[in-house]
Amino acid sequence: MDARIVEFAEVLRQNGVRVSTSEVQDALRATAEVGLEDRALFRSVLRTTLVKRELDVETFRRAFDFFFSGAACTFEAIDKSLAKQLEEEGYLEGDLLKMVIYQMNLLAPEMSPLAQAILAGDRARLAQIFRQASLQLDLGQLESPLQTGFFTRRMLAGAGMERARSDLKSMEDELKARGLHAEGVEIVSRHVAAAMRKIEEAARAEVKRQSEARIRRRTDTVTEKPLHLLTQAEVDQMEAAVRTLAEKLKSRMIRKQRSHRRGSLHAQRTLRRNMPWDGIPMVPVFRTRRPERPELVVLCDVSDSVRNASRMMLLFMHTLQSLFVRVRSFVFVSDVGEVTQFFKDLDVSEAIDAATAGRTVSMSSNSNYGRALADFTRDHLGSITRRTTVMIIGDGRNNYNASNAWALKDLKRKARRVLWICPEDRGNWGIGDSEMLTYEKHCTQAVVVTSVSDLARIAEQLVPV
């Protein structure tokens, strides 16, 4: 296992992760202590000892998933070199067999690494090549077994399949030019084709395995499951989890606010308080700083595509409303409607139902962020101050309408902060009718929240200290 960890560290280095020799030694000592029985603990130990920067965590995750998945076993069908197969089959023998083996050995150094590994039947080398190819893919985007074919082709391309195919075809042509009879060329060609099929099947099996593993991990709990995939029963569970998260965060933030209220030293009150015991020991008295609670304005897309995300964020922010001096809520699809009164008159859950049910805006129109932003800015920009945090919740898919990014720019100019909560992965921003890349430029911060777990990770960034 020590050799595997050393090799794993080298793979991380090859993919831009800074790993020192001393860190590898720390990893070896730590993994020797925890053993291999608990995979999660083993993974945690490696991450702790080998990864220093947050930006390297994703590379580590992808490398670990492939490297310690038994990838070499994926290529177990390739267990012999091409020369060994030809020798055992017996169709080529004597000087002819020697010539074929000699030519393969002569040509191999000029071939691609994948072609060399296929000729040698080197499973460990094949696993290493495909580990490297896997790291170039974001297999975290695998959301369905239906994507297996697409990611298999990308993995094969990353491993150099086309170059290997070309090299092996050139080898066949060279053998023919050297005098190998047609039947012999056919035998070699058949073995090469069989090896290539095994490689393709192995790559497909590995992508399928990773797809199934990721889908299982993603759907193990409601907090990890993408919001748009939640059933109605799971939406209820999600809301309970969000309430719990919000209450815990509220308690923590209130404690922080209290600790920040201490102002400067109040000299007169300090002297007066310490007079009875002549100031030994001296007990300082500080001025109380007036807590600065900002205002919150929530602008929320309630169209079908993001409804669960909107429900979650409305619930989260209104559970935390005591941290703000005032909370105003607006919803939109194309038109904008204010729903603040619902949250004053109704229970939070009932208010969210009313806000997302189309009682203030038409639900039959297509999303039009440009129009909604322009209308909101026209009607409400005057109420935005340097104490206002504007939070926009939506995927930024504008159905190819005008983006009206100027409206967002005006909001940012007047507000304390403009936050955008997007329930769509960053890799999809700017694709199709998405205007997120444009809108992001005019936000203080734009974050991805696709699950309750995502919300938990960035929750403290959304509320005032």
Task: Give the whole-angstrom CA distance, residue 81 versus residue 118.
Answer: 7
- pLDDT of 260 reads 58
**Residue 279 main-chain phi, psi, to 5 deg:** 70, 20
Is the whole model's pTM more than 0.85, yes or no?
A: no
Task: Give the whole-angstrom CA distance, residue 204 versus residue 196.
Answer: 12
Of 349 and 220, more confident: 349
Whether pLDDT at 438 is above 60 = yes
| Weakest-pLDDT range from 94-98, 270-274, 369-373, 400-404 | 94-98
Chain segment 158-193, per-residue pLDDT in tens: 888 899 888 888 888 887 887 777 777 787 788 888
Are 342 and 355 contacting, i.e. CB atoms less than 8 angstroms apart? yes
Confidence of residue 446 (pLDDT cuts 50, 70, 90): very high
- pLDDT of 72 reads 47
Total residues found in the chain within this entry: 465
Whether pLDDT at 78 is above 80 = no
Whether pLDDT at 384 is above 90 = yes
Please state whether beta strands 326-332 and 336-338 pair in parallel, antiparallel, or not at all (unpaired): antiparallel
* Domain residue ranges of the chain, discontinuous segments joined by +: 2-68, 74-219, 240-260+292-462, 265-290
Whether pLDDT at 374 is above 80 = yes
Task: Give the whole-angstrom CA distance, residue 409 versus residue 418.
Answer: 9
Amino acid at 228: H
- pLDDT of 119 reads 80
- pLDDT of 218 reads 47
Of 303, 457, 327, whose CA–CA distance to 391 is shortest? 327
Are 326 and 355 contacting, i.e. CB atoms less than 8 angstroms apart? no
Chain segment 239-295, per-residue pLDDT in tens: 777 777 778 777 776 666 665 556 677 888 888 888 888 778 888 888 776 656 678
Q: What percent of the chain has pLDDT over 90?
A: 18
Of 93, 83, 80, whose CA–CA distance to 171 is shortest? 83
Whether pLDDT at 2 is above 80 = no
Which CATH fold topology does 240-260+292-462 show?
Rossmann fold (3.40.50)
Confidence of residue 213 (pLDDT cuts 50, 70, 90): low
Chain segment 86-145, per-residue pLDDT in tens: 676 666 667 767 777 777 777 778 888 888 888 887 777 887 787 777 766 666 566 566
Chain segment 318-343, per-residue pLDDT in tens: 887 777 888 899 999 999 999 999 98
- The per-residue b/e assignment along 244-281, b for 16 or more CB within 10 angstroms, e otherwise, is ebbeebbeebeeeeeeeeeeeeeeeebeeebeeeeeee
Residue 402 burial (C-beta neighbours within 10 Å; 0-12, 13-18, 19+)? middle
Task: Give the whole-angstrom CA distance, residue 429 versus residue 397.
Answer: 9
